[in-house]
């Protein structure tokens, strides 16, 4: 099954699934950490590009804290759910597009990509950011923890590739961006489950 078809299939029950008691507890620390980072770095005057908006877990927050947002999602099913949630349509532009086909981030202050690195080469996306005039990028990167492998197993059951990253690979690949301020945040461990994501914040140094 193609990734596009899988997300179309699960779009109708995706929100209900991730709000189940178990998944809500697993994801709560990630969501708290990301929400805090986004609020800390995004200004009310910023124009934001969100890649892989899904059903809008973070889109609603981004609409509230920025001047304008372009929400990009390649699944028509997920996009439909997202549109139904957003009331401030004067501050958001919806685009049905594959993130891998975005060649430039010019015109945006902030780039947000949460939950996309499982399916695309994140380092290629970072190369696009490096060549743009965007000020800041926030991404999540799935790592090879137990919960990360469980996530990959789910995708593999449907024949969908899911990339997990070694921690050493993340630090090694990001270390080449000397002109950028790169910060990697570990999400606090829960007693029963170690979150599989790291949050990467990349800020352009003044003058670059």
Out of 16-25, 53-62, 153-162, 189-198, least confident range: 189-198
pLDDT above 80: residue 195: no
Out of 60-69, 100-109, 195-204, least confident range: 195-204
Q: Residues of the chain with pLDDT > 90: what percent?
A: 38
Q: What is the average per-residue pLDDT within 146-153?
A: 84
End-to-end CA gap in the chain: 42
Q: What domains are defined for the chain?
A: 3-204 (3.40.50.150)
pLDDT above 90: residue 190: no
Considering only CA atoms, which of 32, 1, 27, 30 is closest in space to residue 14?
Answer: 27
Kindly indicate the confidence band of residue 192, based on its pLDDT and cuts at 50, 70 and 90.
very low
The pLDDT of residue 31:
84
- Rounded mean pLDDT of the chain? 85
Answer whether 202's CB lies under 8 Å from 129's CB.
yes
* Three-state SS at 2: coil
The pLDDT of residue 208:
56
């Amino acid at each position: 099954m193609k990734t596009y078809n899988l997300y179309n299939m699960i779009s109708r029950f995706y929100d209900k699934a991730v709000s189940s008691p178990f998944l809500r507890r697993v994801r709560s620390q990630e969501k708290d950490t990301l929400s805090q980072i986004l609020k800390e770095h995004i200004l009310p005057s910023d124009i934001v590009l969100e890649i892989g908006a899904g059903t809008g877990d973070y889109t609603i927050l981004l609409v509230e804290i920025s001047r304008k947002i372009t929400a990009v999602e390649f699944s028509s099913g997920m996009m439909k759910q997202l549109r139904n949630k957003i009331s401030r349509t004067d501050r958001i532009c919806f685009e049905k597009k594959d993130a891998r086909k975005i060649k430039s981030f010019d015109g945006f202050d902030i780039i947000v990509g949460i939950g996309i690195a499982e399916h695309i080469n994140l380092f290629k996306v970072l190369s696009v950011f490096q060549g743009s005039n965007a000020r800041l990028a926030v991404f999540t990167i799935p790592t090879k923890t137990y919960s990360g492998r469980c996530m990959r197993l789910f995708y593999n059951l449907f024949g969908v590739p899911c990339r997990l990253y070694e921690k050493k690979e993340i630090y090694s690949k990001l270390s080449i961006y000397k002109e950028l301020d790169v910060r990697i945040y570990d999400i606090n461990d829960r007693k029963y489950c170690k979150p599989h994501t790291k949050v990467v914040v990349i800020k352009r140094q003044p003058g670059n």
